[in-house]
Chain A
Amino acid sequence: MVDQWMPEIGICMARVLERLGHTVTYDSQQTCCGRPAFDSGRLVEAAAIARRQLGIFADAEVIVTPSVSCAAMMRREYGTLITGDEAVREAHQITERVHEFGDFLVNRLHVEEVGARFQGTVAVQECCNTRRSGGAPGDMRRLLSKVAGLRIVDEPDSGCCGFGGPFSMQFPLLSSSMGMMRTDSVLKSAAQYYVSNDPACLLQMRGIMGRRAKPVRGLHLAEVLASL
């Protein structure tokens, strides 16, 4: 999704990582983590995708993704897809090096302050998969709270944006109603932006806000942290 629809997120993430002194590489052999297959219940196909992805990332020191959903897929769900003791052990050695961007900064690098500046009031949309991606809920909030000029608004009722992959296409009304509730909360909060740690949440919320013709912009965590 980042590659095809939101390349600026990947670019910003690379920018922040390089600014922190890390070398970023991108292997163009990679395709997708396999979550669409997994979420559609096609576990055999998802396992094949998992094996392919693991092969590509086997030599990386750390694998960082700007999507909580991809991180959760690789860290958590790959473990149930790969079978056989030896293969599971090998897979684990790779998947334990997978981090979602915010989780990587906070829990692996122990960096919360990245020197970013961003003028504005933001609502925080933490992707539900943060529960399964290995990071701690609140990582993103911690990072954002250290950004100069940025103010986080508290929302009484923030929750799932309603995307859910194939769910969003199979139950458009239900999915978008969840998105309406989520965006209602953002709109009520008087935030100028909403920031998410997952492109999928942004896809859904930007789509809903677009139909509602609302000027509140959705940004990815990496975009905010890259801004100076």
Chain B
Amino acid sequence: MKSLSSKSFERQVAEQLYDTASLTRRSDRLARSATNRVAGWARFRDAGMARAAAGAIRSADLRRMDLLLADFSARFEHAGGVVHWAPDAADAREMLTAVLREAGAKTVVRGHSATLDEIGTDAALTAAGMDGVHTAFGDRIIALAGEPASHPVYPASHHTREAVAALLHDKGGEALCRTPEEMSDAVRARLRPVFLGADAGVVGANFLLADTGHVVWAESEGNVRLCAVLPRTLVIVAGIDKVTASAENLPVLLATLAAAAGDKTLTPAISVIRPDADSVRGRRIHLILVDNGRTQRLASPATADTLRCIGCGACSDACPVYRLAGGTAFGMRRPGPYGLATELGEHEPWRRRQLAMATPLCGACTEVCPVHIDLHDALVAARAAPGHALHGLRMRILLAAYLWSVRDHARFAFGAAVFRKLVVALDFVRDTPFNPVEAWSRHRTLPESPPRTFRRWWKETGGIQPPNPVNKP
């Protein structure tokens, strides 16, 4: 999903900030999920140990990804499934539509999956003349609203209950509901016959088990399970990073995922299935393994760890930018730090340059990640990618001046003093374009210029202490 807006990120943020009702609602939701997470982690005897174990499992998986994928696909195919290898998104789309066309599919039910969105499933189905039906509640809502996701796990989290009811009524053709239960009943009633009549199910995956050939889904609604077992044809689209060595890893991974995602206990619906299960045996079950830049990410130390992700959404909820800017402003599948670190390449160049800088690098995301992804490193790497650097003439000039001066102490002392005196002298025109630090001064005062620099103080006094400069009240 590309950016749906041509507005600058700062502009979108401004709109979000004036929308105090959604700001409050978001803060409330974040506070609630923080409480749930605390409760979730409290269930562990040693939460730190669980996170370390989950991180170690994912890290080991990535180191042997090629071997594990070979094992998994052999076992999945032995059980009657078909595995396709897609080097990029376009290949994956082609494979998906080819499989569906061969199966004669008209109506396709799909589950919530960042990988399905990544390869552009909706557009591909439409282009192939098929009817793709979103079966995840949140996905239906944002599809009706025509908006990007506002959260990696809960894409419609930005809407009020009333707004969701209105969307379902006005655009979804449902009766006007009042309670969440009424809404989910209405959608369930509408989807039940669609599930039963669908020609194919298209879903993502949470984990692929290399030692057994099983596919694992963890979801809150159970719609993925229905997509998987009801239609004649099933296509699973999964990133190559989803493979994990063994079924023995599942208890740790699923428990960690649930706690980090803020589920009170385990994720409500967990399905583990292989093509030779009685309920699906004899069906056409295809699995498309998508690379689409993952091997490249794995090759660089700063970004390799991002492939450990188990999709809990904790990094977004911890992010102060996410809290203020809201999810939709990012225009990403995974709005927040993870999206900033991994999805920039899909955006238009001007937006890429903006979003690359849209984080204070506070590291709150790294701190909460249950599998210890260093998102801080990945965010810096995203900035360092060609064409992602600073935008704006003023910033470029400031950076060039800094880089010129920093290589030599005489230059540095001279350049920094000139800069300091210049911005102080120009403070009287602070709200005009003549102010070189206008972006700073718009909302903040400048510090006072000291009588002498530390450098000069040291030279003049040799480090002899003047009276304590802090005045007591």
* A→B interface (CB under 8 Å): 2-8, 10-12, 14-15, 18, 24, 26, 28-32, 34, 36-43, 45, 48-49, 52, 77, 80, 118-120, 128-129, 131-132, 159-160, 162-179, 181, 192, 203-204, 206-208, 210-211, 219, 223-224, 226-228
Contacts and interface: CB of A to CB of B under 8 A. Distances in A.
Q: Bin chain B's interface residue count.
A: 35 or more
A14 B408 CA distance: 24
A211 B407 contact: no
B45 interface: no
9 contacts: A3-B455, A10-B454, A12-B468, A132-B376, A165-B360, A166-B357, A170-B392, A171-B357, A177-B13
Contact of A39 (B13, B361, B364, B416): B361
Given A173-B10, A178-B320, A211-B443, A4 B453 contact: yes
A131 B407 contact: no
Nearest to B411: A31
Contacts of B324: 174, 177-178, 181
B80 interface: no
Nearest to A38: B380
Interface in B384-428: 384-385, 388-392, 394-395, 398-399, 402-403, 405-409, 412-413, 416-417, 420
Interface in B340-394: 354, 356-364, 366-367, 376-377, 380, 382-385, 388-392, 394
B444 A210 contact: yes
A118 B406 contact: no
Contacts of A77: 380
Given A8-B469, A159-B364, A31 B409 contact: yes
Interface stretch (B95-103, B152-160, B306-314, B456-464): B456-464
Contacts of A207: 440, 443-447
A32 B454 contact: no
A3 B459 CA distance: 12
Contacts of B466: 11
B463 A14 contact: yes
A4 to B, nearest CB: 5
A225 B420 CA distance: 28
A55 to B, nearest CB: 12
A168 B440 contact: yes
Contact of B444 (A2, A4, A159, A204): A204
B10 A171 contact: yes
Contact of B399 (A3, A36, A119): A36
B359 A15 contact: no
B287 interface: no
A208 B399 CA distance: 24
B402 to A, nearest CB: 6
Nearest to A164: B360
Most buried by A among B13, B380, B452, B466: B380
B449 interface: yes
B357 A206 contact: no
Most buried by A among B10, B14, B302, B394: B10
A173 B412 contact: no
Most buried by A among B382, B398, B470: B470
B126 interface: no
B426 to A, nearest CB: 15
Contacts of A170: 354, 357-358, 390-392, 395, 439
Contacts of A208: 443-444
Nearest to B320: A160
Nearest to A56: B409
Contacts of A49: 406-407
Most buried by B among A7, A43, A181, A207: A7
Nearest to A19: B465
B14 A173 contact: yes
Interface in B27-51: none
B416 A4 contact: yes
B163 interface: no
Given A11-B454, A31-B408, A42 B384 contact: yes
A160 B409 contact: no
A30 B409 contact: yes
A115 to B, nearest CB: 13
A52 B358 CA distance: 29
Contact of B360 (A5, A42, A167): A167
5 A-B pairs closest in CB distance: A164-B360, A207-B444, A41-B383, A210-B445, A176-B443
B358 A227 contact: no
A46 to B, nearest CB: 9
Contact of A120 (B376, B389, B473): B473
Given A14-B465, A48-B407, 19 more contacts: A2-B454, A5-B449, A7-B457, A8-B450, A10-B454, A12-B470, A31-B408, A32-B402, A32-B412, A36-B399, A39-B361, A80-B377, A119-B472, A164-B362, A167-B360, A169-B439, A174-B10, A207-B446, A210-B444
Contact of A5 (B301, B447, B473): B447
Contacts of B399: 36-37, 40, 42, 166
Contact of A223 (B392, B455, B463, B470): B470
B473 A119 contact: yes
A171 B13 contact: yes
A42 B389 contact: yes
Contacts of B412: 31-32
Contacts of A4: 416-417, 420, 453-454
A179 B17 CA distance: 13
